[in-house]
A and B are shown apart, each in its own frame.
Chain A
Amino acid sequence: MTYLAVAYLGMLIAIAIWTWTVFSRSNDLEQRIDAVERNIEQHTPKSIIIGDEDTKEQE
């Protein structure tokens, strides 16, 4: 029973790490996008608009 509990716990820990990685990737990407967008707002002329899905440039 002990080896089975260890195997189960090992799998649960592995899934926990995997799940944490999914959350972490999502949060990391959101932070990067926020940082890039903040940077663009500060340094780009207002005549250039960057869209979400289809990137558009207006002169």
Chain B
Amino acid sequence: MSKRAAELVLLVGFIGIGITLVLALLKAPSVSINAFESPDAQRIFYWHVPAAWAAFIAFGFLFLGSALWFFKRSDFGWRMHVAGAEAGLATGLMTVWSGMVWGSAEWGVAWDWSDVRLNTFGLLTFLALFLVLGRQAQPDGVETRDTFSTFGLFGFVLVPVTYVATRLWQIRHPGPVLGGGDGGSLNSEMAAVLFFGAISFTTFMIGHVLMSMRITLLEQRLESIQEAMDKV
């Protein structure tokens, strides 16, 4: 995919995220005032859930890229690993931050260390942070790539654990509103805003992955040119 196309996908995703903000604040219907301590804060759900959804897909890219590098020694796979980690960090931080804002308003605390889903998702985001910072701190090479790919492969275990956490051990994080087995609890307007948010965040994440893969390719190209110059 060309540079312009990747930039366009990222930009469209970003604009969509902005529109999601407007829809969440102005268009989405209010929830029952008795159901929440802070009903207005519930609107953050239209940001939080799509961001988490996009983060899971980004961690999927991270896993796939790690596997492609580790088992096939694919340069394309390594670029996907790097892009998955960066996109996972961006969307993971959005999820964590929006969740903490809601937690502060609804629970009175930003973080509950006893909740399984909060902690497994937090670990996933820290894993992405470790991979992004670690790659920048280490010289590129087979050993470095193998080490980080291993983290990408095994860290992915946290994705299904996080997904089923509220089904198996519901402590404080709300249970699923979609696919939870009870037919869901969203009306059509809420579902439409949530769906728009999911499409926007997914587009943003895919654009980010495409751009990050391109950036890694450019970094490798620059490095090869510099190595060639050193040999001259």
Chain B at the A interface: SS class: helix
A-B contact count (CB 8 A): 93
Chain A at the B interface: SS class: helix
Q: A4-B40, A33-B225, A36-B229 are in contact. Are A26 and B14 (CB under 8 A)?
A: no
Check if A26 sits within 8 Å of B3, measured CB to CB.
Answer: yes
Tally B residues with Cβ within 8 Å of A: 40
CA distance A54 to B7 in the complex (A): 26
Which residues of A does B touch, CB under 8 Å?
1, 3-5, 7-9, 11-12, 14-16, 18-19, 22-23, 25-26, 29-30, 32-33, 36-37, 40, 44, 48, 50-55, 57
Question: Would you mind naming 29 contact pairs between A and B with Cβ atoms under 8 Å apart?
Answer: A1-B25, A4-B40, A4-B41, A4-B43, A5-B25, A7-B98, A8-B25, A8-B44, A11-B98, A14-B97, A15-B90, A19-B14, A19-B204, A22-B211, A22-B215, A23-B7, A23-B211, A26-B215, A33-B221, A33-B222, A40-B225, A40-B229, A44-B232, A48-B232, A50-B224, A51-B224, A52-B224, A53-B224, A57-B231
